[in-house]
Structures are given as C-alpha cells and as structure tokens.
Amino acid sequence: MKRSSVIAMTLAFLGIAGAGLYAILALSNIGVTGTGPLIGGAFSLVDTNGKRVTDADFRGKLMLVFFGYTHCPDVCPTGLQQAADLLAKLGPDAADVVPVFISVDPARDTPPVMKSYVENFDPRIVGLTGDAADVASAAKAYRVYFRKAGSGDDYTIDHSAFVYLMGRNGDFISSFMFNAPVDMMVGELKKQLAAGASRDTTSGSTKS
C-alpha cells in the first residue's frame, strides 16, 4: 500500500512538472507560430524623469521587456543585474538594445524611486511606471500575471518572471526565464541584430 502511494505521488509530481515545462515551451512559441495569444502591444507609461512614453518610442531597437517592482526581494534584482551584465557583454551592440523594466507596484514605485533603483544596476535600463490603469493595461498586453499579497506597507507582489524579446518593430520574438544564462541571451540578441543588419544592407542595395 505504501509503495503504491509513493508511485502515485511520483507520477502526480511528474505530471505537474511536465505541465510546467509544456507551458514554458508553449510560451516561447507565442507570437511566432500563431498558435497562442500575441504578446506585446501598445502601452503608455511614465519614465524615471516623469515623461510620458509609449511603445512607439522604442521602435528601431530591440527591447527586453520585463515586469517587477523595486521592493522585490530576489527575482527583480536578479533580472536587473542580468540586464546590466547583458549590456556589458554586448559592447557597442548595446546601443541597439533597450531593457525596459515596468513596475507592477505603481503605489510605491514613483518615477524618482524607479530612477534610483534602476540606476543602481545600469543607467541604460529604462524604468517605467504609471497609474494603476496604465500598469494593468501594459501587463495585459504582455500577458503578465501580478497579484498583491499581504497588507500594510510590507506587502509583496506575485508576478510573472519572463523577459520578452521584442523586435525593432515591436513584434514579439522570443522569451527568456528571468535567470536564463546571460551568454545564451547575448547569443540570441546578436543573432537578431545581425539579421536586422543583413536586412538593412539588402534593402539599401535594392534601392540603389
């Protein structure tokens, strides 16, 4: 009886793990195969200088979009350090890549708070916030889950931890886990940058 219970529990665990892996793999194909809901779209938020910006302001560059908040204990600092390391490894190519960190805690994450936070990692990381409606709209566009947990001033926020790679035209390309190896991400970004340069060269030779 005990053995059958252990076997049943093991199978249940494997089923849950398999479902989680399937969900991650399915997410990586969203927007590429057309079999899932599209990721990305219009947003209107406020940057760390208090200026209103939209997704259109980043056209022409690759975007790495991820959501979090400044009071996040571990996932967000890891993601921001990952973005800083990635920019350093890209060297001159970093000029064509913009990491965009969107807060899911607009009540605490004012533009000055966001500015101080992201600049601790790299001033090239763009921090965005806004009112609750603006943030909810951006999260919906990127299919990001977030939920407040707890009460008072010490609440936390559960949220999705994917990093979305968006093309120069704002279209979804791929996604990474927040703790994906930086070298792997750099390789993918260099591939996308090279493909874009190749298209630009072809387009230019066609016009001449």
Q: Are 106 and 130 in contact (CB under 8 A)?
A: yes
| Residue range of the domain that includes 30 | 1-37
Q: Are 74 and 177 in contact (CB under 8 A)?
A: no
Q: Is the pTM of this model over 0.85?
A: no
Based on the fold, state whether residues 118 and 179 are members of the same structural domain. Answer: yes
In the DSSP assignment, the letter for residue 127 is E
Based on the fold, state whether residues 187 and 154 are members of the same structural domain. Answer: yes
CA dihedral 138, 156, 100, 37 (to 10 degrees): -40
In degrees rounded to 5, what are phi and psi of residue 201? -65, -45
Per the structure, the count of domains in the chain is 2
Based on the fold, state whether residues 10 and 106 are members of the same structural domain. Answer: no
Name the token pair of 169: 């035209």
Based on the fold, state whether residues 66 and 22 are members of the same structural domain. Answer: no
Q: Are 36 and 26 in contact (CB under 8 A)?
A: yes
| Cβ atoms within 10 Å of 87's Cβ, excluding its own | 23
Dist CA 71 CA 155 (whole Å):
9
Based on the fold, state whether residues 201 and 167 are members of the same structural domain. Answer: yes
Dist CA 104 CA 69 (whole Å):
6
Based on the fold, state whether residues 16 and 84 are members of the same structural domain. Answer: no
% of the chain with per-residue pLDDT over 70:
76
Based on the fold, state whether residues 14 and 52 are members of the same structural domain. Answer: no
Dist CA 27 CA 118 (whole Å):
27
pLDDT per residue over 123-165, tens digit each?
999 999 999 999 999 999 999 999 999 888 889 999 998 999 9
pLDDT per residue over 25-73, tens digit each?
334 433 343 444 589 999 999 999 999 999 999 999 999 999 999 999 9
Based on the fold, state whether residues 141 and 198 are members of the same structural domain. Answer: yes
Q: Are 162 and 145 in contact (CB under 8 A)?
A: no
pLDDT at 13: 35
Based on the fold, state whether residues 33 and 49 are members of the same structural domain. Answer: no
Based on the fold, state whether residues 78 and 25 are members of the same structural domain. Answer: no
| Cβ atoms within 10 Å of 113's Cβ, excluding its own | 18
Based on the fold, state whether residues 193 and 107 are members of the same structural domain. Answer: yes
Give the residue among 105, 99, 22 at the shortest CA–CA distance from 66. Answer: 99
Place of tokens 């908040």: 69
Based on the fold, state whether residues 100 and 53 are members of the same structural domain. Answer: yes
| Cβ atoms within 10 Å of 36's Cβ, excluding its own | 14
Amino acid (one-letter) located at 36:
G
Of 53-57, 69-73, 167-171, 196-200, which gets the smallest average pLDDT? 196-200
Dist CA 189 CA 186 (whole Å):
5
Helices 182-207, 75-90: inter-axial angle, 10-degree rounding: 50
